[in-house]
Structure formats: structure tokens, C-alpha cells
Chains A and B, each alone.
Chain A
Amino acid sequence: MKEFFAMGGYAFYVWTSYGLALVVLTINLLAPIRQRRRLLTDIARRMRRARRER
């Protein structure tokens, strides 16, 4: 197991690459989830305001 993480002395290069890949994939997944939630609440708020002004 220790050997596996050592990556034959290339641990820094290999694990930084895989770590960055994980970060990039996670960010791109979370961004649209957050944006959708924000949009839906924003649209709902504007609709309520529009109804009150009517």
C-alpha cells in the first residue's frame, strides 16, 4: 500500500495530476447545480414581486 502511494518516487507528479483532475471534474459538476438552484429561487422571487405590484 505504501509502495502504491509512493508511485516509484513520482508521487508528487502523479498524485498532483490525479488530484487536479478530481478538482476540475468536481467544480464543473457543482457549478451548474448551484447555478440552477440560484436561478430557480431568483425567478420565484421576481414572480412574487410582480404579483404584489399588480
Chain B
Amino acid sequence: MIVRFFHRMASPMHFYRIAGLFVPWLGVLSAALLLAGLYGGLVLAPTDYQQGESYRIIFIHVPAAWMSLFIYVVMAAGGLISLVWRIKLAEVIAISSAPIGASFTFLALVTGSLWGKPMWGTWWVWDARLTSELILLFLYLGVIALYGAIEDKRVAARAVAILALVGVVNIPIIHYSVEWWNTLHQPATITKFDKPSIHLSMLVPLLLMALAFKLYYATVVLMRARCEVLERERNSRWVQSLVEPAAR
């Protein structure tokens, strides 16, 4: 029963249809959370007693950095599933995630730089956190370039899956870099086990923004995956009758 459910879900035609149903709702929800998070972060949250107003970059920087790691893990998991079980949909999700992950990594790096300049006095330092995050960006770009360079998309997806899996080693390095090395970057503000060292009036908008980014990712990755499915299945009957319902 469950197996049949998954096979049905993983069939490109069903995925295309069901993802199309989810996309608008996810998008609207994400936009609503984004607006609430922006209002909370820019208007309601008080000024920081040490950093003044500059700390407000946190509401972009931290959620973007979290997403850069989260999306990489999704991409690598998709790669693993596609290698082990040969589920094409996992391949599609993995490859559709790469540009979005690269975007969030870029955003985390640039906002970090814009925050570092007024607070640390420098745009960039080669410390462990910043360097490992930069490597993450290169991993994403590597995945995108590799997929584009190989003509046969099935072969390309396998190569990409292996690259993504090898790169997973970087994820704990980024996460623990602020503990393992003496970095200029501060340690985590919010951890699973301790009470967060941030006031509720700042924590709430931060979590709202993080959730908004996550739902945004869900929205756009499904949109991209639908395009990828359409492209791969362009010669199939269901795509052709979708394009020209009257012709069939």
C-alpha cells in the first residue's frame, strides 16, 4: 500500500500535477510569513544595545545560512536516493535544488560581509566559518556546472549525485567551525539544547524568516522540478496532451 503510494507519487505525471497544486499555497504561505517576519524584524524588534541597528541583518543572514546547509543536505539525500533506488524524482529534486542553494549561500556570504564591515571592521577574513561557507558555494557551482557539462542527463545526474555526496563532508565542518577553531565569527546563537541567547522579540522574527525561507525553497524547488520533469518527458503522451489537449 505504502510502496504503491510512493511509486504513484514518484511517477512524473502525478508529481507534475500534484506539485502544481501545492505550489500556489506554499508560495502564499511563504509570502505571508515573510511579511510578518520583516515587520517583526524591522519594526517591532528593539535596537541591539551593542550593535545598534546593524544587527537587523541577522534576519536575512542567519536564515539564508541555515538554508544553504539545509538545501545541500536535501540535494545530497536526493543524490543518494537516486543512486541507491534509482528514483528519477529524487534526481530531479537534487538537481533543481542546486541553483537555489547556491543563491542562499551567496546571500549568506554577502550579507555576512555587509555585517562584518561595520562590526568587525573588515569585509572578509579567511577564518574557518567564512572559508568553509565559501567552499559550499563552490560545491554548488560545481554541481551546476557538472550537470550542464554532460549531455546524457541520466549520466549527468549520477555524476552530480556523487559530487554532492562527497561534498557532504563540508556540512559538519561549517556547522562546528565556530567551535573547533578560534573564529572571528561568533558561535551559534540558537542551538537545539540550550536556551537561545537572544531575546524573544528578536527570536520570533528570526524564526518567522527562517520558516518563510524554507517554504520559499519548497515553492521554487517544486517549480523548478516541474520544469525539469517537463523537459525530460517532453516526448511522452501525457506532456503532449498537456500542451495540446485537442490534438489527442
Q: Which residues of A contact B (CB under 8 A)?
A: 4, 7-10, 13-14, 16-18, 20-21, 24-25, 27-29, 31-33, 35-36, 39-40, 43-44, 46-47, 51
B129 proximal to A (CB < 8 A): no
Check B240 against A18 for contact (C-beta < 8 Å): no
Chain A at the B interface: mostly helix, strand, loop or mixed?
helix
Given A10-B52, A10-B53, A47-B240: A32 and B61 interface contact (C-beta under 8 Å): no
Say whether chain B's binding surface is mostly helix, strand, loop, or mixed: helix
- Chain B contacts to A: CB under 8 angstroms: 42-43, 47, 52-54, 56-57, 60-61, 64, 99-100, 103-104, 106-107, 110-111, 114-115, 117-118, 216, 219-220, 223-224, 226-227, 230-231, 234, 239-240, 243-244, 247
The interface centre, meaning the residue of A13, A20, A39 with most chain B CB atoms within 10 A of its CB, is A13
The residue of chain A having its C-beta at the shortest distance from the C-beta of B38 within the complex is A18
Contact (Cβ within 8 A) A14 B54: yes
**Closest CB-CB distance, A28 to chain B, in whole Å?**
5
